């Protein structure tokens, strides 16, 4: 019977996306800041309301949810796990936004076409995250020690980010892009919002499709961090998946809010490094010193707030004299 809840959730997600691109953003246009803030607030509110629904689903054991002591036995525990996981995933998606901004600048993607790339990128991300969450849940179920591997991955990622001051984009080195270039010729210019066109009688791809490939492949890399991170909060596949999806749904509108401010919020990257390190340690010591989810929620919110406040207090560097 749990299949009905899963199916209903996926139907709602697809309807929201269809409404977004099929009706509201059917025409290519530049997304204004006011509109982006409104959509960001909408997706955050949607996630908050869904957390309330999670509370009642697990409290009353609808369709068998919350009946396993190994997962979440009460509505409060389930809702807290959802909100904590959602905040973690939303926080880690900030670094993804920085990379997407670099990709768009590298390919000089027109502002009116960026929304379309992010839309199809999110569809691909939903599929990939679903597959990775399923594999992760199966591994943890059969090999509990895999949690320590996940923790080590997060610590190594935090260390790598701490030693790298900024993200670097090298599309020509991307194995997916290189493989596609061997199959299809690439046009030198954009063809509106088309991903494919014809060049000298042959089917060809546009720079917009290359941009989409980079965005998709970068999300796979970030999923290697974010999926293990959510398993530090809960092993319930439903909460893991839904918290991930809500964070991804809000990524598109959040990008248009923060893209122009990525330079201003420089300390957010430090917050993400600290967040990854905290979650990695949490997973490694989970057997010896289990950390409750409400503590993790406070830590995650505190790290994000600290990064934002430090960034806002930092004075812009004076421009160099010409």
C-alpha distances in angstroms, 313 versus 81, 150, 230, 231, 310? 32, 35, 31, 34, 5
> Is residue 14 one of the residues assigned to a domain?
yes
> Is residue 230 one of the residues assigned to a domain?
yes
What does the pLDDT read at residue 54? Answer: 92
Give the list of residues 6+ apart from residue 316 with CB closer than 8 angstroms, or none.
264
> Is residue 207 one of the residues assigned to a domain?
no
> Is residue 175 one of the residues assigned to a domain?
no
What does the pLDDT read at residue 221? Answer: 73
Which tokens belong to 140? 């943890």
> Is residue 204 one of the residues assigned to a domain?
no
> Is residue 171 one of the residues assigned to a domain?
no
Domain limits for position 269: 2-166+186-193+212-312
Interaxial angle between packed helices 75-107 and 251-258, expressed in degrees from 0 to 180 and rounded to the nearest 10: 50
Interaxial angle between packed helices 207-231 and 237-249, expressed in degrees from 0 to 180 and rounded to the nearest 10: 140
What does the pLDDT read at residue 322? Answer: 36
Structural domains in the chain (count) = 1
> Is residue 317 one of the residues assigned to a domain?
no
What does the pLDDT read at residue 1? Answer: 67
- Contact between 274 and 155 under an 8 Å Cβ cutoff? The reply is no
Alpha helices in the chain (DSSP H): 2-19, 33-59, 75-107, 111-142, 146-163, 175-183, 207-231, 237-249, 251-258, 268-284, 293-313
The pTM of the full predicted model, rounded to 2 decimals, is 0.81
What does the pLDDT read at residue 23? Answer: 62
> Is residue 178 one of the residues assigned to a domain?
no
* pLDDT averaged per 10 residues, the chain (length 322): 82 81 65 81 92 91 75 81 90 79 83 83 82 81 81 85 69 76 82 82 86 83 78 86 88 76 70 86 85 86 85 59 39
What does the pLDDT read at residue 320? Answer: 42
What does the pLDDT read at residue 83? Answer: 93
Q: What is the DSSP string of 78-138?
A: HHHHHHHHHHHHHHHHHHHHHHHHHHHHHHT--HHHHHHHHHHHHHHHHHHHHHHHHHHHH
Vertex 132 angle, CA 127 and 134, to 5°: 95
């Amino acid at each position: 019977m749990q299949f009905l809840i899963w199916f209903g959730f996926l139907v709602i997600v697809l309807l929201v996306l269809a409404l977004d691109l099929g009706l509201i953003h059917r025409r290519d246009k530049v997304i204004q800041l006011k509109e982006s803030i409104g959509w960001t607030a909408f997706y955050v509110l949607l996630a908050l309301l869904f957390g309330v629904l999670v509370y009642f689903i697990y409290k009353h054991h609808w369709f068998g949810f919350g009946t396993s002591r190994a997962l979440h036995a009460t509505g409060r525990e389930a809702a807290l796990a959802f909100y904590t996981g959602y905040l973690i995933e939303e926080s880690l998606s900030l670094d993804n936004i920085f990379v997407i901004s670099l990709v768009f600048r590298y390919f000089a993607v027109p502002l009116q076409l960026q929304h379309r790339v992010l839309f199809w990128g999110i569809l691909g991300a939903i599929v990939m995250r679903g597959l990775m969450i399923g594999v992760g849940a199966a591994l943890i179920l059969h090999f509990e020690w895999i949690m320590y591997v996940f923790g080590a991955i997060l610590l190594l990622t935090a260390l790598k980010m701490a030693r790298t001051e900024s993200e670097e984009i090298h599309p020509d080195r991307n194995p997916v892009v290189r493989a596609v270039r061997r199959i299809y010729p690439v046009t030198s210019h954009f063809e509106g919002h088309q991903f494919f066109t014809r060049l000298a009688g042959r089917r060809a791809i546009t720079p917009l499709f290359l941009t989409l490939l980079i965005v998709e492949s970068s999300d796979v890399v970030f999923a290697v961090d974010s999926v293990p991170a959510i398993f530090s909060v809960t092993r319930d596949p439903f909460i893991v998946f839904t918290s991930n999806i809500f964070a991804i749904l809000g990524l598109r509108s959040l990008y248009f809010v923060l893209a122009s401010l990525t330079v201003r919020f420089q300390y957010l990257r430090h917050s993400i490094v600290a967040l990854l390190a905290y979650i990695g340690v949490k997973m490694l010591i989970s057997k010896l010193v289990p950390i409750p989810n409400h503590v993790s929620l406070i830590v995650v919110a505190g790290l994000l707030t600290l990064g934002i406040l430090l960034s806002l207090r930092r004075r812009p560097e004076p421009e160099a004299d010409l």
